[in-house]
Homo-oligomer: A and B are copies of this chain.
Amino acid sequence: MLNAREAVLRLKEYHPPLGGRAGLRLDFNENTAGCSGHVLARLRALDPEELNKYPERDPVERTVADFLGVRPEQLVLTNGVDEGIHLLCETYLEPADEVLLVVPTFSLYEIYAAATGATVICIQAEDGFRFPTQAVLNRVSARTRLIAVANPNNPTGAVAPEADLLQLTAAAPQAALLVDEAYFDFYGHTLLPRIGQTPNLFVTRTFSKAYGLAGLRAGVLAGAADQMRMVRRVASPYNVNAAALACLPVALADTGYVADYVAQVRRGRDRVRRELQALGVASWPSEANFVLMLIGDKRKAFVEAMRQRGILVRDRHHDPGCAGCVRLTVGTDEQTERAMAALREALVEIDWRKPEAAGAAL
């Protein structure tokens, strides 16, 4: 009888709540405005010759490398950041290895790491979801082979100081440090310029968030050239599709589009936090395109009341340390206006009261 590997038999399944998603989708941290018009025009100009041949990644990798200020051999384009994480795990992790994650965080690190048979060690963030640098350092051992950090983090929006992240690369030279910068555009700080001098640092970027191309699946995994040569060995040469490859250079060139969208998101998240504070709803500082708020016991009723008002938000109650929390993606000015109007009504409808002792840990 054919059996999957032990690590796969034990693996959690990841079922994000897709399924139609009718309404204003503030539940997946996507761009909510649609992509640049120039990108759409390029997509519509795709000709059959671009579709019927295998996609050629190299020329676009050179364009993306130029844009990011790294060398082409320091990055690989991936089928979304998911694939970048997957390839990194496959390149480095063996069953005897340990992986350190700071939780709560993006689910796929644990899934891809555990799929290799490696032991995943979850370290709880400090109060206010601050990055627990000392706790991570304390768990580094000779077996540590990967430390994965989303920066800004999801679902909290918290960031880790650059110096602390670099301290980890030095403390665990035998491990890959993955800094997932999916939300970089809403934050502005990056470790990408460090990949040249830091042989075990990897940085991911995505076009699914600020650029509005989640559907096209395009991510970047960057690291030292010697390491990337290993990562490329386990990737398909045709991993990124022709539509994404055609659109990326156009998306990068339309800097005005992204700057405007990012400005709206940054305004929006300040406004959301201010209004939540006025309403007595605790929330956490965010450098990403979402705000995590503490609703408490009535979170399910709240998510449903929002849905009835045409606004989808995401229940994060089951994330470690996030009991009672709901995450709201921030979009355009107009969407923030709508979302907050719905939120005020929803709180009234569910007869919301500030949870006992809430905010103590903020």
Chain A residues within 8 Å of B, Cβ to Cβ: 1-5, 8-9, 11-16, 18-19, 21, 25, 28, 30-35, 39-40, 43-44, 46-56, 58, 79-80, 82-83, 86, 90-94, 108, 111-112, 115, 145, 173-176, 199-200, 208, 212-217, 227, 230, 232-234, 236-239, 241-244
Contact B16 A234 (CB under 8 A): no
Provide the main secondary structure of the chain A interface.
Answer: loop
Query: Which of A30, A232, A236 has the most C-beta atoms of chain B within 10 angstroms of its own C-beta?
Result: A236
Residues of B within 8 A of A30 (CB): 52-54
Q: A33-B48, A217-B241 are in contact. List 15 more A-B contacts (CB 8 A).
A: A1-B199, A2-B199, A5-B91, A5-B94, A8-B90, A8-B233, A14-B233, A16-B54, A21-B56, A40-B46, A54-B208, A82-B239, A108-B236, A115-B234, A215-B241
Smallest distance from the beta carbon of A16 to chain B beta carbons, Å? 6
Say how many copies of this protein the assembly contains.
Answer: 2
Smallest distance from the beta carbon of A259 to chain B beta carbons, Å? 17
Smallest distance from the beta carbon of A179 to chain B beta carbons, Å? 15
Residues of B within 8 A of A200 (CB): 1-2
Q: List 21 A-B contacts (CB under 8 A).
A: A2-B175, A2-B200, A4-B227, A8-B90, A12-B233, A16-B54, A35-B48, A35-B52, A40-B48, A44-B44, A44-B46, A48-B212, A51-B212, A51-B216, A55-B215, A55-B217, A79-B83, A79-B217, A214-B238, A241-B244, A243-B243
Complex Cα gap A25–B94 (Å): 41
Contact B31 A52 (CB under 8 A): yes
